[in-house]
Amino acid sequence: MGTTDTPIRLKAVSSPDQPDVTPELEELYRGFEQELLVPLWTEIGDLMPAHPRSRAVPHLWTWQNLVRLADRAGHLVPVGRGGERRAIALANPSLGGRPFATPTLWAAIQYLMPGEDAPEHRHTQHAFRFIVEGSGVWTVVGGDAVPMKRGDFLPQAGWNWHAHHNATDEPMAWIDGLDIPFQYMNEAQFFEFGRDELPAEERTTPELSRSERLWGHPGLRPLGVQHGTAGSPLLAYKWEHTDRALAHQLDLEKQGYAGTVEPGHAAVRFSNPHDGSDVLPTIRAEFHRITGETAPIRETGSSVFQVFNGSGEVTVGDKTWSVTRGDLFVVPSWQPFSTRSEAGSTDSDSGALDLFRFSDSPVFEALGLHRTQLQTSEDA
Ligand code: 1HN
């Protein structure tokens, strides 16, 4: 990712773990610079820190500001071929102004005006949509129209054709998560334009997509279809199912049975009904319902959270924020994260703090790099 022609600058420094600074050492370093060589002994602290030091920082974006600016863009910026999407990305303040929420994850608000179409295309980047407000937009994935509404989660594995259409007379906003920074860094991306117009049968709003009719029945795997591609064949995880699963965990806890991750904290992972794996090869998605306080935890890899419901307080590393519906925040690698729901928050259906989360954990797990650490008060 480096720019071309960045000169190498080696500085001889007086320090117990560095060689003596002499004219000969200076001359050696100039020789290294000339031949584009960098010795390990000047770099080891940066290359091999004792624990991850993320280039990203914790940061909060409020939904109120995102929607206000996205709506302005809706009036000023058309959607069409070339730009492809009215998607406005979160740029982590310490990642050089690039549209990267974390070193591996893209997160954006996407906004579609009444009657608008976002044209068909496909890319190797794995993607999903999560909807905090509204309904009436559907996304067409491989010719299968999938309706989206508040609380629904729609994974869409790389290289599937997809387009969006707003069939209502209201603008609609949702969030997109993609592994763009990861694929950018690893130079794995391909992209193709699709059809300019979709046929009428792909522009009607079905109650259920084909994928949901096949794969959307709990614990029941269809026998008549093969599923060979990466990522989940189920293109929508409906809010009613997520909500019920979380409510049941908390009910069971009240009745004295196991099921929550910690007291007052119910959580589920969106999983591939074909084999139980993560919904996307590079992205994990979860939903958390918090009725009290969570213990600080840190993990390798980074996450983006969106508040779906309720309000509360969130602490990430040295930052603490009050958060409310729609707000998005970033948890960089190895930074402790904890949260507390605000009792009696008025806009919450469940009376709890409901958090949608996505992370790059599948990549870290696949490579044997995933670590978590629950922090006790003694560590602090
Ligand atoms: C994309 O295709 C979508 O399909 C959203 O909605 C965000 C960001 C960069 C590149 C492609 C979408 C995107 C994107």
Domain boundaries defined on the chain: 1-48, 59-215, 239-374
Label each residue of 191-210 as H, E or C.
Answer: EEECCCCCCHHHCCCCCCCH
Residue 93: per-residue pLDDT: 98
Asked if residue 344 has pLDDT above 80, the reply is no
- The one-letter amino acid code at 324 reads T
For ligand 1, the distance from its centroid to the CA atom of residue 87, given in whole angstroms, is 7
pLDDT at 35 over 60: yes
Is 111's pLDDT higher than 50? yes
Q: Of 26, 31, 27, 34, nearest to 7 (Cα)? A: 34
Does 197 score more than 50 pLDDT? yes
Residue 82's pLDDT band, with cuts at 50, 70 and 90, is confident
Residue 162: predicted pLDDT:
97
The pLDDT score that the predictor gives to residue 378 is 53
Protein residue with least CA distance to atom 6, ligand 1: 85
Distance between CA atoms of residues 240 and 111, nearest Å: 24
176 lines ligand 1 (CB under 6 A): yes
Q: What value, to the nearest 5°, has the Cα angle with vertex 86 and ends 72 and 160?
A: 160
Instruction: State the DSSP string of 258-315.
Output: --SSBTTEEEEE-B-TTTSSBSSSS-EEEEEEESSB---EEESS-EEEEEEES-EEEE
Asked if 125 contacts 178 with a C-beta cutoff of 8 angstroms, the reply is yes
Task: Tell which residue, 92, 91, 105, 75, has the closest CA to residue 181.
Answer: 105
Looking at domain 59-215, its CATH class is: mainly beta
Bridge partner list, 337: 297, 316
Q: What is the pLDDT of residue 350?
A: 66
Tokens of 57: 């920082």
Cβ–Cβ under 8 Å, residues 308 and 132: yes
Task: Give yes or no for residue 349 having a pLDDT over 90.
Answer: no
Output the residue whose Cα is nearest ligand 1's atom 14. Answer: 85
Under the banding of pLDDT at 50, 70 and 90, the label for residue 341 is very high
Ligand 1 test: best mutation among 176, 184, 192, most atoms within 8 Å of CB?
176
From residue 272, give the alpha-carbon distance in Å to each of 32, 110, 158, 218, 330.
51, 25, 15, 11, 25
- Quote the ligand 1 centre to 122 CA distance (angstroms): 9
Encoded tokens for 244 = 């019920």
Q: What is the mean pLDDT of residues 21-48?
A: 95
SS3 content of the chain, % helix, strand, coil (to 5): 20, 30, 50
SS3 108: strand
| Ligand 1 pocket residue status of 162, Cβ below 6 Å | yes
228 Cα–ligand 1 center, Å: 24
Start-to-end CA distance of the chain, whole Å, equals 36
The atom number, within ligand 1, closest to the CA of 163 reads 4
Q: Which two tokens stand for residue 229?
A: 């591609």
Q: Which two tokens stand for residue 224?
A: 């008549």
Share of the chain above pLDDT 90, in %: 86
- Report the pLDDT averaged over residues 243-261: 96
What's the Rg (C-alpha) of the chain? Answer: 23
- Which residue's C-alpha comes closest to atom 5 of ligand 1? 176
> What pLDDT sits at residue 380?
45
Helix (H) or strand (E) holding 224: none
Q: Is 355 in the pocket of ligand 1 (CB under 6 A)?
A: no
Average pLDDT, the chain: 94
pLDDT of residue 45: 86
CATH class, range 239-374: mainly beta
Residue 2, pLDDT above cutoff 50 = no
Q: Where are the alpha helices (DSSP H) in the chain?
A: 23-34, 44-47, 63-76, 180-186, 210-215, 239-254, 361-366
Higher-confidence residue of 347 and 311: namely 311
Please tell me if the CB atom of residue 90 comes closer than 6 angstroms to any atom of ligand 1.
no
Coil, helix or strand for 42?
helix
CB 328 within 8 A of CB 90: yes
Predicted pLDDT of residue 376:
67
Q: What pLDDT score does 155 carry?
A: 98
Biggest distance spanned by C-alpha atoms of the chain: 77
What's the distance, CA 201 to chain centroid? 32
The reply to whether ligand 1 has any atom less than 6 angstroms from the CB of 178 is yes
Residue with the smallest CA separation from ligand 1 atom 8 is 87
Calculate the alpha carbon distances from 170 to 77, 235, 258 in Å.
17, 24, 43
Determine whether the shortest distance from the Cβ of 86 to ligand 1 is under 6 A.
Answer: no
> What pLDDT score was predicted for residue 1?
45
Residue with CA closest to ligand 1 atom 3: 85
Beta bridge partners of 307: 355
**pTM for the model:** 0.94
User: In the predicted model, what is the mean pLDDT of residues 319-344?
Assistant: 95
Same fold, 59-215 and 239-374: yes
Residue type, 223: L
Q: What is the pLDDT of residue 334?
A: 98
Rounded distance, CA 91 to CA 56, Å?
Answer: 10
**CB crowding 122-142: b at 16 or more within 10 Å, else e:** bbebbbbbbbbbbbbbbbbbe
The confidence score (pLDDT) of residue 379 equals: 53
Return the closest-CA partner of residue 36 out of 59, 12, 9, 16.
9
